[in-house]
Structure 1
């Protein structure tokens, strides 16, 4: 099983490191082959994050034909009040959504044997590229409006499981996402052991499109179209 964690210029480091480390720890605790690698749309290179002092090196190119899991982070940067500039979170997400990465992510989403997961603004990146219209997803609370505006059913939940698309909310939710992915792909016993090792208990209930509909919703980000 191959998990590819995506890097792009301006990515948020914790969005990457949290799920990467959880998945990598899981790989050491199972006989099932689980490989985790950092990738870009362009191939191996040093990738600057949205924090000036932090960069990570991608060792391969994003390849949806090889990957079983693709993890897409959000961006780090300024919070622009008006039109997003190049150094803002939305500006960096938009630049990534207009580049070569968008085509590869579209291919990943089209492949039913590939699970695509997002952390924080990663869902907004997919929405900006027009890839998840009609789907259910979450992201940072500041980005729920952007998701809804792109035709996504935006949900204020810690983790949202919409089948082959699993999204998580703010930056630290990458830990919860990683543990949930381990549970789903490898099994709960391995996920619990990683949870113990990291001393992190998963937060929140994973939203899935099953069960009774609530009669009343009490939080933001519950509108938008249902999944196609």
Structure 2
């Protein structure tokens, strides 16, 4: 299994590093059954985060034909404009729609065998591109109204599993997302081994689109 974590200008570093480290450790514990790399729609390049001056290097081109899992992070920055011309998270996310990223994600979302996962505002990138209307998803609590406005079925949970779409809430939920993907795809023993290694206990609720529906 091969995972790619998408980088775009203005990404949130923790949205990327948390799932990267978890998935990388899971691959090591699983004898190489999972590999992970940083990728951008434009190919290998230095990608500036929204937390200046930190940047990360994409070593590959984001490719729906190559990846089995694509993880989309959110953006880092101010939520609201404080001064004229301030770069805000909504503006950063909107700019991703003018890049090649939505085209790659459109291919990914059309492939039921490929898992598209998001951290924080990553689900808003998909929603703003019109790719997850009618699907169950979550984002950072400050973006839930916007997610709802795009036609997404918003679920207030730490991780939301809607089959080939798996989304996670606020910034640190990237750890929980990574561990959940390990458990789902490689088994609970691999996930537990990585939890132990990282001295981290998963928190919050994982919502799945299966089982009985509540009647109340």
TM-score range, shorter chain: over 0.9
Task: Note the C-alpha offset of 1:85.
Answer: 5.9
Counterpart CA distance in 1 for 2:75 and 2:98 is: 14
What's the CA shift for 1:98? Answer: 3.0
SS of the equivalent of 2:142 reads helix
Give the whole-Å Cα distance in 1 for the aligned partners of 2:85 and 2:159: 29
Q: Is the 8 A contact 2:81 2:88 kept in 1?
A: no
* 1:50–1:77 contact (8 Å) kept in structure 2: yes
Unaligned segments of structure 1, at least 5 residues: 217-228
Aligned residues: 215
Q: TM-score, normalised by structure 2?
A: 0.96
CA distance, structure 2, for counterparts of residue 195 and residue 174 of structure 1: 13
Structure 2: stretches of 5+ with no match in the other structure:
none
Aligned partner of 2:173 in structure 1 is 173
Cα distance in structure 1, aligned partners of 2:140 and 2:6:
18
TM-score by structure 1 length? 0.91
Structure 2 residue aligned with 1:196: 196
Residues 142-183 of structure 1: per-residue CA shift (max 9 Å, x gap): 111111100000111100000000000000000000000011
Determine if the alignment matches structure 1 residue 120 to structure 2 residue 120.
yes
Alpha-carbon separation, structure 1, partners of 2:85 and 2:162: 32
Q: CA RMSD in A?
A: 1.5
Q: Secondary structure at the match of 1:38?
A: strand
Pairwise CA distance, 1:22: 0.2
CA distance, structure 2, for counterparts of residue 86 and residue 96 of structure 1: 17
